[in-house]
Amino acid sequence: MVVTESVPEGILRRQSARESAARTYARALPIVPVRARGLTIEGADGRRYLDCLSGAGALALGHNHPVVLEAIRRVLDSGAPLQVLDLATPVKDAFVTELFRTLPPGLADHARVQFCGPAGTDAVEAALKLVRTATGRTGVLAFTGAYHGMTAGSLEVSGGAGDVRVARLPYPQDYRCPFGVGGERGAELAARWTESVLDDPKSGVRRPAGMILEPVQGEGGVIPAPDAWLRRMRQITAERSIPLIADEIQTGVGRTGAFWAVEHSGVTPDVMVLSKAIGGSLPLAVVVYREELDAWQPGAHAGTFRGNQLAMAAGTATLAFVRENGLADRAAVLGARILRGLRRLAEEFPCMGDVRGRGLMIGVEMVDPEASCGSQGMEGIEGIPGSDEAGGVGEVQGLGGAHRPFPAAPALALSLQRECLRRGLIVELGGRHAGVVRLLPPLTITDEQAAAVLDRLADAMAAVAASHAHGRDEKGRKGRKRHREQAGQAEQAGQMEAHSPSRQNPPDRPPEQVSRQGSSADRAR
């Protein structure tokens, strides 16, 4: 009997056979999308999914929003060129005008914009080159847990870098605070560390060309920067004439509950790196910076596809729709509601160690609540005070009251992602150990859809918890059985040894010494 494969199976098989081993999302999400609208994706097999990945945050308005499609059609029907390098066009002029309308006032009034290659990582490269050119310095300050892209310079300032021209600074967070205290005290220690590195002539760090940071770390595990700490970074860099670069590639265009995430803290950076949502689902990346930094020579940073007219038209429509319809405020309200729902769920399932986020950029860190808590840096060290708050969900109090969170559980996070997919919900994984389940729904998600997302995630979480408990019980039974077998073997061996001549009359020491010391097993007990 010949078994024929379905269309989606054939497509997935050919993808696996032909595409690079570097593919990522395709491994975790074995689906073949054929239609999409808003939050919903339909696969080639007819199944429908609620998409809380949104093109890794690129789809602020979801899939195929009418205003985006109409903007693209207008350009196509007009006969306008689709690719113009860096020439001026009405489409580009409209995009720049709308973009500047949304920027923080302190930047928009005296800014320049650099169009880059189509990916955010190229915009990061341009920003790093820009501040190095403008300052004449080479070093860069970046933060643990950062993610800025996959090209060489972007990887240098990301968390997994090796031997680079970058000084790594602690990024404050509550759950896994690098100083083991969390809260305002942890953020204050992180700020003091930064000041010390810059002001200590023996720190080994020369005055850098710039500092780059994410207002909310995305791939680092959805970690919002404390507003007060971000203001300190602005103060520290301004006082030392160090350009501050804000990477708003994923946080921008309303995602966090403000149009740009730096607005939560009232900070105006010197440079903003923008991509993803600004292209309205099409590839587009720019750098916006203070005009006094504009030290470029012609052609100092270029790219063939920096003139993508369809992306600029789609981006203009997206920026205007988000601004005119108050979608940033909507993201703040609905995001807070989803966070409350997830935190209630975490009270039922201890393996949901921490629920955090800002706006519609949300993460759930999966942990193993039955494993011993590992060291978290400096907790319990004399002189490092503990948090004033009681231990929250998924954490215990360590020495001196310091935070000691449970170990990350990437296997549980992967299981939750798979169970979500079985229930028609697409989520992403991130975080230091790929142990954070991430939600990035479009800003157009409705109340009913948000409730459906929570319901499906709760159902998936219950399945994961039940499977984990069953696996733990099975492992325990096997362990107890193995222990009984080992104990029986040890007892049998002991009886045989007791009747052997050498055991009864050891040549090395008198019988009373053997009786006094006992066996190693006895001593261990």
Residue 452 to residue 447: CA distance in whole angstroms = 9
Residue 98 to residue 100: CA distance in whole angstroms = 6
- From residue 381, alpha-carbon distances to 174, 186, 375, 402 in Å are 17, 14, 11, 9
Count of Cβ atoms closer than 10 Å to residue 289 Cβ = 26
DSSP code of residue 65: -
One-letter amino acid identity for 267? V
Whether the CB-CB separation of 439 and 57 falls below 8 Å is answered with no
Tokens of 187: 């953020």
Q: Closest Cα to residue 83, out of 281, 273, 299, 284?
A: 284
What is the pairing mode between strands 286-290 and 111-115? antiparallel
One-letter amino acid identity for 474? E
pLDDT of residue 150: 76
Residue 125 to residue 321: CA distance in whole angstroms = 29
Strands (E), 126-208: 140-143, 166-169
Q: Closest Cα to residue 356, out of 342, 367, 368?
A: 342
Q: Look at residue 521 and give its three-state secondary structure.
A: helix
Crossing angle of helices 90-102/309-324, nearest 10°? Answer: 30
pLDDT profile of the chain (525 residues), mean per 10: 76 92 90 96 96 96 98 97 95 98 93 93 94 94 88 74 75 94 95 95 92 96 97 98 98 98 97 97 97 93 92 98 98 98 96 97 95 48 36 41 77 97 97 95 98 98 90 61 61 53 40 34 33
Q: Look at residue 285 and give its three-state secondary structure.
A: coil
pLDDT of residue 475: 59
**Cα angle at 336 between 330 and 339, to 5 degrees?**
135
pLDDT of residue 383: 37
Backbone φ, ψ for residue 413 (5° rounding)? -65, -40
Find where tokens 């060290």 sit. Answer: 381
Q: Closest Cα to residue 442, out of 322, 355, 337, 357?
A: 322
Residue 83 to residue 71: CA distance in whole angstroms = 16
Beta bridge partners of 287: 114, 273
**Cα angle at 185 between 181 and 188, to 5 degrees?**
125
Tokens of 142: 């970046």
Backbone φ, ψ for residue 354 (5° rounding)? -150, 135
Residue 223 to residue 356: CA distance in whole angstroms = 7
DSSP code of residue 153: H
Residue 181 to residue 187: CA distance in whole angstroms = 9
Strands (E), 345-452: 352-358, 361-366, 395-397, 403-405, 425-426, 428-430, 436-439
Count of Cβ atoms closer than 10 Å to residue 452 Cβ = 17
pTM: 0.84
